[in-house]
Amino acid sequence: MATLEYDAPREYETYRLSVAQYKQFRTQGYLVVKGLVPLEDVQTMNAYMDDMVAGRVMTEDALDIRGFGITPTKRADWVRAHMLHRLSPLQERFLLHPRLLDGLAALIGPDVLALQSMLFFKKPGDPGQGYHQDSYYIPSHPDTLCGAWLALTPSTVENGCVWYAAGSQHEPIYPDPRGLGSALSANLSDLGTIDNASVTDESVNGLRRIVKDYAGQAVPVEAEPGDVVYFGGHIIHWSYTNQSDIPRRAFVGHYCNARSFVPWNHGETWEGDAANYLHILARGQTHLAYAQPKFGTPCAANAPRPAPDASAPASSMMGMDDGLMGDMPHAGEPDPD
């Protein structure tokens, strides 16, 4: 089997988002980038998932870890897996894939912290996931969460592609009565609470009352292998049962700006006020603690660090004269206003 478990890292040409793509992401809450990840890489991940299901990789002992999303029972029944980048070199390399990070640097960077990896097997007959907002589960302060959803097989309406309520990225995070999600929404008099986020039964999913406001704006986002869908932490999204005879596989990474404070570790404990030190600095720099990639995937965390220069101007992602996004320094002159 061709695998990236032990292969030397590949070189990739940098992908630059356009200003139009940046604006599209801000306007509708998600962005589809066609063919961003090479098909060779997609095939490698699919082969690895086949080996997972067959029991050739990811032994039961390795998977018997709280919070990883897989129970070591019948492998053929697996629907999804979480945080496998802490167990597998290949999963770490996909979480830190340069092409995924190129888009993230433009949308939420230039400093990017890698938080979570997910694999979706979604075989024929597997259920979808009800209305939810990702920042409800993964808080960051300031709230800069962004997902990168990589199609590993064709994703269609029939096999349960993801739907987005376009425009709902402007909604606050709706907390439940027990306080989950409440850290990201405060001082809103009519916010209320919701229950049963992610539950597929729309009659009990509390976000249904919000989704009703987006009638006509629910968009099924179909994708081909190698396509990447970026989506913000506030946009309401969901999927339905796979009613086809083919799987709808996907790799999903979640990230935030590396200068955001992250009190989250996928259900595991951490020390101190934040868990940033357990998450990998993927791009850029940060004043906060961060983790090294366990399997040595090249990224900002293990790259040589430039000497601090207090005289250097601050920089951020800006629209360039060529219509693309780039990391540029701010002007040194004072604001004339």
* CATH number, residue 71: 2.60.120.620
259: tokens are 């200068």
In tens, the pLDDT along 112-123 reads 999 999 999 999
* End-to-end Cα, the chain, rounded Å: 62
pLDDT for 4: 46
pLDDT for 122: 94
Query: β-strand 218-221 against 162-165: which pairing, if any?
Result: antiparallel
pLDDT for 3: 42
Could you tell me if 288 and 193 are in contact, meaning their C-beta atoms sit under 8 angstroms apart? Answer: no
Could you tell me if 195 and 206 are in contact, meaning their C-beta atoms sit under 8 angstroms apart? Answer: yes
In tens, the pLDDT along 264-304 reads 999 889 999 999 999 999 999 999 999 999 999 999 999 99
Q: In Å, how far are 175, 198, 250, 299 from 266, measured between CA atoms?
A: 18, 16, 19, 22
Query: β-strand 280-283 against 315-319: which pairing, if any?
Result: unpaired
Spatial distance between the Cα atoms of 142 and 130, rounded to a whole number of angstroms: 26
Q: Which sign does the torsion angle of CA 327, 145, 94, 30 carry?
A: negative
Q: If you average pLDDT over every residue of the chain, what do you get?
A: 89
Give the residue numbers spanning the domain of 103: 19-174+191-305
313 occurs within a structural domain: no
Could you tell me if 161 and 221 are in contact, meaning their C-beta atoms sit under 8 angstroms apart? Answer: yes
210 occurs within a structural domain: yes
29 occurs within a structural domain: yes
179 occurs within a structural domain: no
The model's pTM: 0.91
263 occurs within a structural domain: yes
- The residue whose two tokens read 């167990």 is 87
3-state secondary structure of 153: coil
272 occurs within a structural domain: yes
Could you tell me if 76 and 50 are in contact, meaning their C-beta atoms sit under 8 angstroms apart? Answer: no
Angle between helices 19-28 and 98-108 (to 10 degrees): 70
Beta-carbon neighbour count of residue 8 at 10 Å? Answer: 6
pLDDT for 65: 45
3-state secondary structure of 108: helix
186 occurs within a structural domain: no
Which residues have C-beta within 8 Å of that of residue 241, sequence separation ≥ 6? 125, 126, 127, 128, 160
Q: In Å, how far are 63, 266, 294, 299 from 12, measured between CA atoms?
A: 31, 30, 22, 13
Q: How many domains does the chain have?
A: 1
3-state secondary structure of 174: coil
181 occurs within a structural domain: no
In tens, the pLDDT along 15-42 reads 999 999 999 999 999 999 999 999 999 9
Spatial distance between the Cα atoms of 276 and 288, rounded to a whole number of angstroms: 7
